[in-house]
């Protein structure tokens, strides 16, 4: 028993050492943004004090901290909107408090308006929280002049301007890291949707095929975030001197992004066609599910290729192997283009039938009946 107790104590001590080491690593990784935020707050306070002659420009430092978190990684126009939003929010809160006084209800009103404005600006949870904190500070810190003097508004503009310089010009985020972070979920989701489609074909499971279609449709939001991150990265690489070297590598991501949206759309078409193929519960030919699995492998390989360009051979090999095997399943290779067009016509006709009031089963039955009539 004593030995076991000693072992447990040793394991706990070991985990404690690992935890401390991990915390130290996190601190080292976070030192740069910590220093930047603290420097922006101190610089804004100094500029408002010296440049505007304000005795205690507290809100210059506050606005710098709030705006720095909101503007980092954004387009220039979006970042400016965030900064103006914070500044105007402080000014409006200041006016409300001077007009109706302090108190619990006033804090409720000011906090509600500040968070609503942050949501309207499209801010995330961080900006919403920071806007609320700023508003509460306005509501609880007495204005030194006792009247409606826009000192705090100008202090906030100074703080926001300093935040823009720090976040967009002097210490911008690494644009390649931001683009990679935005691209990773898209490639992961696209590969999973193709895997789900392959599994549905292999099992002859229409419900699973429909789930694959739902997954494929959900990728659009990730594609939009990827394209937005790419646009912001180009802007950063063009305007921020420390990030000019990223312009070349970003071209690789831009080329992939231009085709990724088409690949997602084609995957949706593929998933929809798979629903029709297995709707009777019979599995598809094994080669077909294997082909789609190879496409999923090509998607993942392309995602890795963006980080390691020398992987392009594997990406092309998997994509071409999938195309070759799929083509070999056709009775006549010359019919490939015709089959694709016919398949798209049928899918579009199904959309129109469902738009007219039919459900999915009725639309498919009507299309099958037309095909049988043609054969007769």
What is the per-residue pLDDT across 340-361, written as a single tens digit (0 to 9) for each? 655 656 666 666 667 657 777 7
Q: Among the listed ranges 8-22, 148-162, 214-228, 280-294, which one has the minimum average pLDDT value?
A: 8-22
**pLDDT of 336 strictly over 60:** no
How far apart are alpha carbons 125 and 118 in whole angstroms? Answer: 9
pLDDT of residue 29: 63
pLDDT of residue 320: 82
**pLDDT of 192 strictly over 90:** yes
Number of neighbouring beta carbons within 10 Å of residue 160 = 28
Mean pLDDT of 194-204: 91
| H-state helical runs in the chain | 2-51, 58-71, 76-100, 104-120, 125-140, 151-164, 175-203, 206-217, 219-239, 247-277, 286-305, 312-328, 336-355, 360-375
Nearby residues of 133 by Cβ (< 8 Å), 6 or more positions away: 66
* Band of pLDDT at residue 290, cut at 50, 70 and 90: confident
pLDDT of residue 91: 73
**Domain residue extents for the chain:** 35-170, 175-329, 335-365
Among 26-30, 144-148, 149-153, 190-194, the range with the most confident prediction by mean pLDDT is: 190-194
Structure tokens at 177: 């890291």
Cα of 9 vs its chain's centroid, Å: 43
Mean pLDDT of 325-336: 66
Task: Specify burial of residue 13 (Cβ count, 10 A radius: 0-12, 13-18, 19+).
Answer: exposed
- Taking alpha carbons only, the member of 131, 99, 130, 127 closest to residue 114 is 131
Q: Among the listed ranges 25-34, 199-208, 310-319, 327-336, which one has the minimum average pLDDT value?
A: 327-336
Better-scored residue on pLDDT, 28 or 347: 28
Q: Among the listed ranges 136-145, 232-241, 318-327, which one has the minimum average pLDDT value?
A: 136-145
Mean pLDDT of 330-344: 60
DSSP per-residue string spanning 107-127 = HHHHHHHHHHHHHHTT--HHH
- φ, ψ of residue 57 to 5 degrees: the values are -75, 65
* Band of pLDDT at residue 3, cut at 50, 70 and 90: low
pLDDT of residue 269: 86
* Band of pLDDT at residue 13, cut at 50, 70 and 90: very low
Better-scored residue on pLDDT, 246 or 295: 295
Better-scored residue on pLDDT, 219 or 146: 219
Q: Which residues of 73-86 are buried (b: 16+ CB within 10 A; e: fewer)?
A: bbbbebbbbbbebb
pTM of the predicted model, to two decimals?
Answer: 0.63
The residue behind tokens 């283009």 is 337
How far apart are alpha carbons 97 and 25 in whole angstroms? Answer: 44
Local structure of 334: helix, strand or coil: helix
* Band of pLDDT at residue 72, cut at 50, 70 and 90: low
Local structure of 46: helix, strand or coil: helix
**pLDDT of 16 strictly over 60:** no
| C-alpha atoms less than 13 angstroms from C-alpha of 285 in its C-beta half-sphere | 8
Nearby residues of 283 by Cβ (< 8 Å), 6 or more positions away: 201, 202, 203, 204, 289
Number of neighbouring beta carbons within 10 Å of residue 298 = 24
Nearby residues of 205 by Cβ (< 8 Å), 6 or more positions away: 199, 278, 281
**pLDDT of 334 strictly over 70:** no
Better-scored residue on pLDDT, 325 or 15: 325
- What is the overall mean pLDDT for the chain? 75
How far apart are alpha carbons 353 and 356 in whole angstroms? Answer: 5
Q: Among the listed ranges 152-161, 298-307, 365-374, which one has the minimum average pLDDT value?
A: 365-374
Structure tokens at 13: 């001590």
Q: Name the percent of the chain lying above pLDDT 70.
A: 73
pLDDT tens-digit readout, 213-266: 999 999 999 998 888 888 878 777 776 666 767 777 788 788 778 778 888 888
Q: Among the listed ranges 44-48, 61-65, 116-120, 160-164, which one has the minimum average pLDDT value?
A: 116-120
How far apart are alpha carbons 258 and 292 in whole angstroms? Answer: 22
pLDDT of residue 60: 83
């Amino acid at each position: 028993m004593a030995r076991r107790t000693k072992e447990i104590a040793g394991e706990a001590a070991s985990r404690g050492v690992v935890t401390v080491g991990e915390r130290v690593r996190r601190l080292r990784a976070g030192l740069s943004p910590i220093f930047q935020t603290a420097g922006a707050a101190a610089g804004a306070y100094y500029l408002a004090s010296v440049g505007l002659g304000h005795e205690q420009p507290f809100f210059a430092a506050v606005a710098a901290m709030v705006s720095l978190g909101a503007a980092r990684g954004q387009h220039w126009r979006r970042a400016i909107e965030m900064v103006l939003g914070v500044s105007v929010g402080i000014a409006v809160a200041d006016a409300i408090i001077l007009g109706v006084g302090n108190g619990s209800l006033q804090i409720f009103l000011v906090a509600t308006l500040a968070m609503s404005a942050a949501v309207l600006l499209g801010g995330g949870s961080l900006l919403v929280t920071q806007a609320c904190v700023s508003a509460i500070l306005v509501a609880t810190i007495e204005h030194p002049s006792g009247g409606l003097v826009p000192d705090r508004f100008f202090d906030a503009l100074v703080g926001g301007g300093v935040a823009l310089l720090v976040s967009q010009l002097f210490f911008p985020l690494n644009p390649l890291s931001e683009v990679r972070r935005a691209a990773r979920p898209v490639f992961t989701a696209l590969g999973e949707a193709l895997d789900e489609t392959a599994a549905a074909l292999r099992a002859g499971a229409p419900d699973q095929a429909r789930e694959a279609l739902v997954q494929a449709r959900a990728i659009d939001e990730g594609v939009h975030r990827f394209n937005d991150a790419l646009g912001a990265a180009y802007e950063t690489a063009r305007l921020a001197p420390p990030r000019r070297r990223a312009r070349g590598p970003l071209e690789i991501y831009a080329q992939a992004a231009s085709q990724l949206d088409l690949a997602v759309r084609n995957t949706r078409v593929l998933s929809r066609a798979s629903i029709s193929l297995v709707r009777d519960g019979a599995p598809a030919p094994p080669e077909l599910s294997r082909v789609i699995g190879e496409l999923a492998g090509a998607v993942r390989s392309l995602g890795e290729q963006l980080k390691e360009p020398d992987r392009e051979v594997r990406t092309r090999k998997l994509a071409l192997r999938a195309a070759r095997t799929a083509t070999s399943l056709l009775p006549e290779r010359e019919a490939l283009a015709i089959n694709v067009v016919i398949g798209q016509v049928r899918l579009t006709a199904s959309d129109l039938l469902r738009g007219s009031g039919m459900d999915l089963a009725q639309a498919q039955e009507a299309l099958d009946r037309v095909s049988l009539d043609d054969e007769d």
